[in-house]
Structure 1
Amino acid sequence: MSADEFDPFVERLYSQAPSLPDADLFAAQVQTKLAANSRVRTIALSLAGVVGGVIAVRESLGMNFHFAQDAEAHRVSQGVESASAAIQGTVQSGLDQWGLSSISLGSMGGVQLFWITAAAVVAVLAAGVVRLSQEG
């Protein structure tokens, strides 16, 4: 078979995919996986949005555009600080349960917490890439 005959022959073979007996089952499985991944993605994005919103509100409440602090803003600021302390205590108790009691988040500077968070995000992204490569 010459090259001129081979190319059209291959094109004819691949122009129409053969229908397989389990094509409907395969399509249903693919739709199920896509729906499950969509739910996980939706939950993750929603959680990230809530966390980002809480941080944005906290930072916005911490700003003082009038250069004077009224009683209402002071109460809100104290509430945010107490909530932050409660969350920090919860995280610290979780670290204590895992045997990591020597890590004190309150004594760390902002740069250290940034790099710890960045490392955690990179680890989560790496785990996601590994999972996606295994699914494919």
Structure 2
Amino acid sequence: MEVHGQGWTKEAPARWDAAKAAAFGDLSPALFGLGTPADGEPLGDEWWRAEDGRGVIGYGRLDDSWGDAEILIVVHPDRRGEGLGAVVLDRLEHEAGRRHLNYVDNVVPLTHPRREEVSGWLRAHGFEEKADGELRKRVPRAVVT
């Protein structure tokens, strides 16, 4: 699927690999509840890979349950600041809308080295912070194909 010039591919099955490790950069996957996966190890939840003509730009993860979805957005360190996180967020919201989910949410770990920056980015993209630190956004109700 082409999205604003970017490729968006569901990984089935999703596995830890060198491209994911590069996209996470200096962020440990354990920070996001992924443990310390070995190369080729399967990953839980649903993952999509975002690519352009230069390679993998990032990943989106969606874990839906109880009518909502926890999401994770990862953009390759060399590509941060180009607006690509918004593209990944848009695609995850599109998928959540297609499933008729109510909210997408994210909890930025307290130990995240750029916690305030990431939380601010999510708020700027329509997420509201709850008292427990969870950031959540209502999924648009547009008809999604």
The bucket for the TM-score relative to the shorter chain is under 0.3
Please identify which structure carries the higher strand content.
2
Please identify which structure carries the higher helix content.
1
**TM-score normalised by structure 1 residue count:** 0.28
Structure with bigger RCO (C-alpha 8 Å, 6+ apart): 2
**TM-score normalised by structure 2 residue count:** 0.27
Larger radius of gyration: 1
